[in-house]
Amino acid sequence: MARFCLLGVLIAFYMLAGAAVFSFLERPAELQAHQLWERRLRSFSHEHNVTCEDLKSLLRHFEEARTAGIRTEQGRAQWDLPGAFYFVGTVVSTIGFGVTAPSTTTGKALLVFYGLLGCSATVLFLNLFLERIITLLSVLIFWFHARPSRHSGLEDKTSEGNRNEEWKPSVYQVTLILFFTVLLFACGTAFFYSAMEGWTYLESLYFCFVAFSTVGFGDFVSSQREHHEDTRGYQVANCLLMLLGVCCTYSLFNAISVIIKQGLNWILRTLDWMYNGIRHNRLQFGPVFQLCFSDSESPISSYKDDTVYRPQMQTGHIMLWCSCGPSAIGKCLCRETKVETIYQVKKDKGDSQDQKQNRCSHERNVVWANPLPNWPN
């Protein structure tokens, strides 16, 4: 429960930090785009003698038409068999670019149940893929780990076999290999999309991350142009690249989540250690602050015979010594607790008349901090 709450708090702070950064970066561009659009709208309305209200009404109709696949530039069909297959692929993989969406009521209702079963099956497929890729990487890492020991005949084979059986690959090694695998795959795929779609390399690399991580903003969507050099071949290659990219990125995310979980455990252990340390120090030094002692004035001990004495502080020790009167039972008035506590006082008969004093020991407030050998009895 503590790890769950800590993760939720960290995600919330992470999102707030990301929102602040992206707002700082993107908000000026958004304001400039709005200003540019208003200028163009007024200019077009003035040149063609069309009111802004009529022009905005036309634009609203065009936005509704985009849902049905209407574009300013002619693209490929959205709901033929290849287009529909591309759509359901974005649904079950949870990418959801948003360029295609059902417009009929029956299609929207069917999508709910279709996506429920399809997304569940895809998650199962990704988990099975993750198990096999982790097994493969573990075998490869184990092979490289055991390879040097085969060539060195200095150790006993039995102990070497036992050590190899106990050895397991580190999650950091697996994560590092997955990271470089995904990075190389995305960089290679970006060259392919850049050549086929006419995007810049950075735009293609950005599209690969958005698609493979199943974020799917929809600002860049592959296989939407009407004509390619080899349309069918490109569509098949696009689906395979999407599937492989999503599987590899999903595996990387799971490996990173294990590291995040270890980090959360470390934070919780650190907080628990700090709490226990503070609690231990508070229990150890708490009685010091409860002593009836003040730097400006020593506490006063009063007794039944109205004799008042100042306590004597033993230097070098954190201990309160109260000088008590001759009566057998006295009262120590503690100014800090404001509670009148009765203590049993022993009378020293062997002392001289001048030294007849009883010592009132406040056992509850005695702290044995590095006692010296000559601690008084």
Q: Which of 235, 187, 205, 210 is nearest to 97 (CA)?
A: 210
What DSSP assignment string belongs to 23-47? HHHHHHHHHHHHHHHHHHHHHHHHH
The mean of the pLDDT values for the chain is 75
Task: Report in angstroms the alpha-carbon separations of 3 from 268, 275, 365.
Answer: 7, 16, 39
Q: Tell me, what's the pLDDT at 290?
A: 56
Domain-located, residue 274? yes
On whether the CB atoms of residues 226 and 76 are closer than 8 A, the answer is yes
Is 50 found in the same domain as 33? yes
Domain co-membership, 60 together with 90: no
Amino acid 369: pLDDT? 41
**Does 374 reside within a domain?**
no
User: What was the pLDDT predicted at 280?
Assistant: 81
Residue 364's pLDDT band, with cuts at 50, 70 and 90, is very low
Residue type for 320, please?
A: L
CATH number of the CATH domain containing 213: 1.10.287.70
Pick from 15, 17, 2: nearest CA to 264: 2
Full domain range(s) for residue 47: 24-67
Q: Give the pLDDT confidence score for residue 192 in this predicted structure.
A: 92
135 and 262 share one domain? yes
What pLDDT was estimated at residue 164? 53
Residues 196 and 270 in one domain: yes
70-118: pLDDT as tens digits: 776 666 777 888 888 888 988 998 888 888 888 888 988 999 999 999 9
Q: Which of 264, 290, 316 is the last residue of a domain?
A: 290
Q: How far apart are CA 288 and CA 214, in angstroms?
A: 60
Lowest mean pLDDT among 16-20, 61-65, 154-158: 154-158
Task: Among 67, 91, 121, give the residue marking a domain's end.
Answer: 67
| Mean pLDDT comparison of 65-79, 140-154, 210-224, 361-375, highest-scoring range | 210-224
Reported as a pLDDT band with limits 50, 70 and 90, residue 55 is confident
Number of domains composing the chain: 3
Read off the pLDDT of residues 180-206 as tens digits, 9 standing for 90 and up: 999 999 999 999 999 888 899 999 999
Q: Does 90 share its domain with 188?
A: yes
Question: Based on the domain organization, do 30 and 130 belong to the same domain?
Answer: no
Distance CA(330)–CA(309), nearest Å, equals 12
Which pLDDT does position 80 carry in this prediction?
A: 81
377 domain residue, yes or no: no
Same domain membership, residue 210 and residue 240: yes
Residue at a domain's end among 268, 290, 312 = 290
- Does 1 fall in a domain? no
Is there a domain that residue 295 lies in?
no
Q: What are the structure tokens assigned to 370, written together?
A: 């590095």
* Same-domain status, 346 and 239: no
Residues 44 and 180 in one domain: no
CA distance 63 to 51: 19
Residue 245 lies in a domain: yes
* CA trace torsion 263, 268, 274, 279 (10° rounding): -170
Q: Which amino acid type is present at position 215?
A: V
Burial level of 360, CB count in 10 A (0-12/13-18/19+)? Answer: buried
Structure tokens at 226: 């009407």
Q: Of residues 231 and 357, which shows the higher confidence score? A: 231
Q: Are residues 263 and 231 in the same domain?
A: yes
Coil, helix or strand for 322? strand
